[in-house]
Amino acid sequence: MDALLETGFLEEGPRVRGGKPAAGAPDLMALVVDELACGVMVLTLEGKTLDINQVARRELSRAGLLEAGGNLPSDSSSDNGKTLLCALARVAEGKRSLINLAVEGGSLSLAVVPLKGGPGTPTRAALVFARATIHDSLMLGFFARSYGLTVTEEHVLGILCQGCPTPAIAAQMNVAVSTVRTHVRSLCAKTRSSGVRELVSRVAMLPPVAPAELYDDQVH
């Protein structure tokens, strides 16, 4: 909001908080949240899901952490269950938590924050998922298509975003170093970047908007 005011794209005016859409009108903020490339979820302190965007549903389903009814597991005997219950207990006290849930092949990092409504309104918990790492981010493909990158160029860009130098990329792709340098020059030319550092920085700072392909691959 402040950034938009500073750039002149938004006029100064009253800030609406807690506003509700008119009857029959779509909840525009909910539609926006569903387009994010990071998971967002709202639930009761008992673990009942109230709202969840596409990415959160996808990640929790693939990790086996979403029950058939769309709620989080209530089994407090598991490490993940204990971690979640502890975080929800802190939400009841108005405190935030940063937790990691064990999933196959790694961990799922979440911020658990309290959402306080008006007087008499129960406190809810919001789960905000960490963004994917740069090189496997949903945004990398979006960026590649936006600039007309080839599949190979997108692959090279993904490895560059992991911090690999040109010789390491060549070895990983089993091609000559000169071939990788040609791809890098093409990447910089197509994206109008002055060099690798600027190119990687631009990918890292992309807005977290999920590409349309996410919904084609959605886990129901």
Q: What integer pLDDT is reported at residue 84 of this predicted model?
A: 85
Distance CA 40, CA 158 (A): 25
pLDDT of residue 57: 84
Report pTM. Answer: 0.65
- For the chain, give the DSSP string: -HHHHHHTSS---PPP-S--PPTTS--HHHHHHTTBSS-EEEE-TTS-EEEE-HHHHHHHHHTT-S-TTSPPP--TTSHHHHHHHHHHHHHHTT--EEEEEEETTEEEEEEEEEE--STTPPPEEEEEEPPPPGGG-HHHHHHHHHTT--HHHHHHHHHHTTT--HHHHHHHHTS-HHHHHHHHHHHHHHHT-SSHHHHHHHHHT---B--THHHHT---
The angle at the Cα of 35, spanning 50 to 106, to the nearest 5 degrees, equals 75
As given in the structure block, the two tokens for residue 14 are 């009253």
pLDDT for 150-205, tens place per residue? 999 999 999 998 889 999 999 999 999 999 999 999 999 999 999 999 999 888 88
Q: Give the SS3 label for residue 114.
A: strand
pLDDT tens, 81-110?
888 889 999 999 999 999 988 877 778 889
CB 47 within 8 A of CB 74: yes
